[in-house]
Amino acid sequence: MVEALRSGQSQAVVVALSSAERAARSPWVGRLGRIGFTAQGTCFVIIAVLALELAFGKSGALTDPRGAFVVLAAGGWTRVLLVLLAIGFGGYSIWRFAQAIFDRGGMGSSPGGLGRRAIQLGQAVLYALLTASAVHVLVGSRAQGSPKRAAAGILGWPGGPEIVGAIGAAVAIVAVVNVYWGLSGRFTESLRLGEVDVRTEELLKLVGTIGFVALGLVLGVISWFLLKAAIDFDAGKVVSLGGAMARVARADYGKWLLTAVAAGLLAYGVFGLLQARYHRV
């Protein structure tokens, strides 16, 4: 009786996994990925435009995705855009989970392939959190804290500084990878360049290179302050994307450095919008 029950449970698990894999390879999951790229690109364009406005003395802001969500939620029709961003981020997360768990992208099980799938899993988790953040802002929740508050909580745990340091090191690795992808042109491997004309290909390569390098540099600043927070046991040193740009703005020639970084993030946003059409999903 027990063996029959176990056998039935095993079969149910196999059937469930098989159904999940079929769903993960559905064309609809690919469409969710394209919707997600549109949301990603739109969000970075908003962040970059706000930063550029501030750099040129207008009423802009240095912010991160959650800050952009708050700006959108304060308007009328822009709340509709925030709803669409939440849907897009959720779709992007599902698509990345399908790639990471069921190898929808065909990366395989080699060390390099598993490394790429690990990155995809991290992207899936990140965009799931962004989806939750957008929903929190939409419903008016104040439950989410700042990165400083989160870091302060972790630093209070046994081994907390080591955890924050590990997060900082992970962000540093992601920063280096982004710069490498940008400078090496490796990001083009995921694009359907065979279907575009020469001018479109040049545009994709240009905005991709600038965008990945700019994002990598900003992530590098974030990782530096995470590591400083871990070493000094000071959560006040943790910065978000907006905080990293604020540090850049306070440096020598800050206005011009901020303009360059914001322009780079704008390029990354434009690249995201182009990926909605040309990325292999």
Q: Which residues on adjacent β-strands are paired with residue 279?
A: 191
Tell me the per-residue pLDDT of 233-264, one tens digit each, with 9 for 90 and over: 888 888 888 889 988 888 888 889 999 999 99
What's the rounded Cα separation, in Å, for the pair 268 and 207? 6
Contact status, residue 248 vs residue 221, Cβ threshold 8 Å: yes
Contact status, residue 211 vs residue 37, Cβ threshold 8 Å: no
What's the rounded Cα separation, in Å, for the pair 211 and 186? 13
Among left, alpha and beta (phi > 0; psi -120 to 50; other), residue 253 is left
Instruction: Give the angle subtended at the CA of 48 by the CAs of 47 and 53, to the nearest 5°.
Output: 105
* Backbone phi, psi, residue 110, to 5°: -70, 165
User: Helix, strand or coil for residue 26?
Assistant: coil
Please list the pLDDT of the chain residue by residue as tens digits (281 residues): 556 556 666 777 777 777 788 888 889 999 999 999 999 999 999 999 999 988 887 767 788 898 899 889 887 788 999 999 999 999 999 999 999 999 998 888 899 889 889 999 999 999 999 999 999 999 886 545 667 788 888 888 888 899 999 999 999 999 999 999 999 999 999 999 988 999 999 999 999 999 999 999 999 999 999 999 999 988 888 888 888 998 888 888 888 999 999 999 999 999 999 999 999 98
Displacement of CA 10 from its chain's centroid (Å) = 36
Question: Is 0.75 surpassed by the pTM of this model?
Answer: yes
The pLDDT score that the predictor gives to residue 265 is 96
Q: What is the DSSP code string of 218-267?
A: HHHHHHHHHHHHHHHT-GGG---HHHHHHHHHHSTTHHHHHHHHHHHHHH
